[in-house]
Structure 1
Amino acid sequence: MSSQNPPGVFVKELPHGVHVITGASTSVAAFLGYTKSPANDGPDATSAPFSDAERAVPQKIGSWQEFAARYSTAGIAKELADATDLSTIHTLQRCLPLAEAVHGFFANGGGTCYVVGFTSPQSAVAPEDLKGNAEARTGLAGLETVPEVSMVAVPGLWDMTADASSEKEVPAPDHAAGLSMMAEVVRHCTERRNRLAILDPPPGQTPAQVAAFADTLASPDSDDAAFTTLYYPWITVPGVDAVERTVPPCGHVAGVWARTDAERGVFKAPANQNLRGALKIETVLTDDQHGELNSKGVNCLRVFPDRGLLVWGARTRSTTRDWRYLNVRRLVSYLSDSIRQSSTWAVFEPNDERLRATLRHSVASFLTDQWRQGALVGRTPDEAFYVICDDTNNTPETMEDGKVICDIGVAPVRPAEFVHFTITQIAGQSGSTT
């Protein structure tokens, strides 16, 4: 058949057959908390507040302005300013920790987050409700459909442990209920294995009380502890309604994680970083107090002369050598998630040496790029990682089961948490004269 093309130069693109592994998301946060429906709708469909049904499922938010419009922040602030009934005031105030956390996330460098709301701020939330329902996409179960989430926080968790009060004094949080809800958050992260929980101790705790509280969490040598982080103390912020308040730091910390990922990479410990949007911390720590908390896996916020308020800790709650450091746990989750997501092409392919060679090449190329960026330790790629996908681990038995096995080992960079200097004073030599 004759060509129908006119004379000229034509380009035909052909697939090269190389499967490239792309990095998975590491900087998307998920926040769960109280939210209240507005009295009036917004001016247009794109900025109109979400309905109660929409608020109960994960909603993607790309900026603070979008959150403020969709979750009626200005309306809540106005209602709170006009309210005189104590029950109404306390109910409205319970919606603000979520707003402060989202604002802190974007102020510190966050780019995208998901919000899951609980639309009855006057009532306590049971651990089962926080766990949610997968079919209805509520609570933590709703986040199972959002694979890009890499950090989970519940900024109003301690408010959720009790009903709103009509008394002048806000009821004390129920520590047992709070621990149960924290356990649900950690269980969700551990099962998903691509996200970490950012937890906050109860409000108004002294350093000694926080140290004791840390001991009540999951055992430090358990798998759950590797997916758990705890930050202290709470911070004072200007307030999204221009009223200063003390809030948990989880939203601001999530923003610092995202900022560090963007500036340096997920392998860099998200510490020694300024906490933007915070006026002061609830408790100023001494070095001795910080040392005790650090040994228990509590990441502290510190104030240093001429440097301001800094995140000064990068540990998980784990005491095991492999998962003690936050950036190591996040790096391994990132590598695992990236390889898994980018290797789905191999499903249903002929299970032969060509498939195994392609997998080896794809994974080795990806890990070599990570080594060049400084994520892995070693003078050469061979010292930084290994990839085994051949006849040694793919036996006839595994092939009959329809499996292809790729064993991967990496040597992640660990932070220089303690830097020691030895200072020697050299006595001056007496000069000689002639």
Structure 2
Amino acid sequence: MPSQNPPGVFVTELPSGVRTITGASTSVPAFLGYTKASANDDPSAAPEPFTDAERVVPQKIRSWQEFAARYSVQGIAKELADATEPAAIHTLQRCLPLAEAVYGFFANGGSTCYVVGFTRPQSAVSPEELKGNTDARTGLAALETVPEVTMVAVPSLWDMTADASAEKEAPAPDHAAGVGRMAQVVKHCTEQRNRLAILDPPPGLTPAEAAAFADTLGSRDSDDAAFTALYYPWITVPGVDAVERTVPPCGHVAGVWARTDAERGVFKAPANQNLRGALKLQTVLTDDQHGELNAKGVNCLRLFPDRGLLVWGARTRSTTRDWRYLNVRRLVSYLADSVHQSSTWAVFEPNDERLWATLRHSVSSFLTDQWRQGALVGRTPDEAFYVICDDTNNTPKTIDDGKVICDIGVAPVRPAEFVHFTITQIAGQSGEAPKAT
């Protein structure tokens, strides 16, 4: 401002110094699956299709139209319609589960996803290939550099367990190999802590076989189980090439998660929601069958009269009280990720009461907002959470070590999974006519 000013009013804007926490992403899945090599793509297409080198690294996709153009879905459909050799047919059909999953995600309310492709659909994918390489940005390892991913699904997983066959019938999936690849996906999610694996059992299982399969996925008391969601059965869809086919439900379910997050919040269980873009279920369940699967930690898709196909389960595979429900696990991951991403400013700040007070204020304000939205249980914020960052947990030793400790406790809401009504019949008045007086 000039040193000499005419008479008037002058305004100077100063930063408030208040640090706020912004909510992290919750609705971005990563899909891993087979995609056709780009040799026969039309270079004049808009947007231009990805090259082979681009298809094997994570690519951000914002619409079904973008995916279809970038990964040559029309080209796959045309080649499949013209193919006559069983080997060529099986190879091309292996590219479609990924496309169906991405279509189902956007059809059910998703807005953004990442895709990691494998461009040799004629061959099985080894555990090393699925694990990938961080430097080359391939496979699951590539997703370590994409922090906004919060769900991981592999719609082509069961095709990845065997090479394409030259016989008329497609090869049967290798269940043991599939369980091993599932374990890799879950291990990745557990290590990252901010994402969950959406898994599908093998196709064609009966309810009893699906329950038995769930038992092969490892201990339900482990940390891994809390980052795992298993959905059954597979679904029949109209087909991106207008040919009906049965596909795993992981892409459609990811869209339901995203839709629930947008409409209600990550704290709302992603269940009792319509499954858009699905024609029918591969297996229609009874209540007794559903009860058995629910006890195994399997989330079921159900058909209800006048309501259509619904997602009717919101559990992780965990048996522990803290992590039994999907929305609780996802809410805590969301809170931790939000605080982590929005508190990097504190690194290298003077470690004193002013820093502790600023951290307490920013975290408390963020959690108060979550409580007001209904994410936390309690009549008051004090009942819903606590934030401790003072000299009780920041001792001279921790300060000398360069550490700032902020202890946070939250009371997340849990879904009303079982709603019980007790009906009592009240005896009516006597049926005798009143006597005249």
User: Partners of 1:136 and 1:193 in 2: how far apart?
Assistant: 23
| Match of residue 40 from structure 1 | 41
TM-score (normalizing by structure 1): 0.98
User: Partners of 1:8 and 1:32 in 2: how far apart?
Assistant: 64
Q: What displacement does 1:102 show? A: 0.2
Q: What displacement does 1:233 show? A: 0.2
Alignment of 1:64-143 (within 5 A): 64-143=64-143
Contact 1:190/1:224 (8 A) holds in 2? yes
Alignment of 1:266-345 (within 5 A): 266-345=266-345
Q: What displacement does 1:14 show? A: 1.5
Alignment of 1:28-427 (within 5 A): 28-38=28-38, 39-43=40-44, 47-427=47-427
SS in 2 for 1:172: coil
Contact 1:27/1:110 (8 A) holds in 2? yes
User: Partners of 2:2 and 2:344 in 1: how far apart?
Assistant: 40
SS in 1 for 2:387: strand
Letter in 1 for 2:408: I
Contact 1:376/1:413 (8 A) holds in 2? yes
Distance 1:10 1:98, change over 3 A: farther
SS in 2 for 1:350: coil
SS in 1 for 2:386: strand
Q: Deviations over 1:154-199 (max 9, x none)?
A: 0010000000011011111011111111011000000000000000
Q: What number of residue pairs does the alignment pair up?
A: 433
Letter in 2 for 1:334: Y
SS in 2 for 1:98: helix
- RMSD across aligned positions (CA): 1.4
Q: What displacement does 1:37 show? A: 2.6
Between stretches 146-155 and 417-426, larger displacement belongs to 417-426
Contact 1:226/1:324 (8 A) holds in 2? yes
Q: Deviations over 1:307-348 (max 9, x none)?
A: 110000000000000000000000000000000000000000
Contact 1:151/1:196 (8 A) holds in 2? yes
Q: What displacement does 1:149 show? A: 0.4
SS in 2 for 1:120: coil
SS in 2 for 1:330: helix
Letter in 2 for 1:33: G
Letter in 1 for 2:41: N
User: Partners of 2:171 and 2:220 in 1: how far apart?
Assistant: 31
Letter in 2 for 1:207: P
User: Partners of 2:147 and 2:155 in 1: how far apart?
Assistant: 21
Contact 2:41/2:72 (8 A) holds in 1? no
User: Partners of 1:309 and 1:12 in 2: how far apart?
Assistant: 59
Contact 1:165/1:171 (8 A) holds in 2? yes
Distance 1:159 1:6, change over 3 A: farther
Q: What displacement does 1:42 show? A: 3.8
Q: What displacement does 1:306 show? A: 0.7
Letter in 2 for 1:69: A
Contact 1:316/1:323 (8 A) holds in 2? yes
Letter in 1 for 2:95: C
User: Partners of 2:323 and 2:41 in 1: how far apart?
Assistant: 48
User: Partners of 1:27 and 1:353 in 2: how far apart?
Assistant: 36
4+ runs of 1 displaced by more than 6 Å? 4-8
Q: Deviations over 1:117-143 (max 9, x none)?
A: 000000000111101000000000000
User: Partners of 1:275 and 1:42 in 2: how far apart?
Assistant: 35
Distance 1:48 1:423, change over 3 A: same
SS in 2 for 1:180: helix
User: Partners of 1:10 and 1:224 in 2: how far apart?
Assistant: 60
User: Partners of 1:166 and 1:355 in 2: how far apart?
Assistant: 66
Contact 1:297/1:317 (8 A) holds in 2? yes
Letter in 1 for 2:286: T
Identity of aligned residues (%): 85
| Match of residue 13 from structure 2 | 13
TM-score (normalizing by structure 2): 0.97
Contact 1:37/1:50 (8 A) holds in 2? no
User: Partners of 2:5 and 2:128 in 1: how far apart?
Assistant: 66
Contact 1:42/1:49 (8 A) holds in 2? yes
Flag structure 1 segments of 5+ consecutive residues without an equivalent.
none
Distance 1:353 1:279, change over 3 A: same
Q: What displacement does 1:12 show? A: 3.3
Q: What displacement does 1:424 show? A: 1.7
Letter in 2 for 1:229: A
SS in 1 for 2:409: strand
SS in 1 for 2:180: helix
Distance 1:92 1:400, change over 3 A: same
User: Partners of 1:273 and 1:21 in 2: how far apart?
Assistant: 30
SS in 2 for 1:149: coil
Contact 1:27/1:150 (8 A) holds in 2? yes
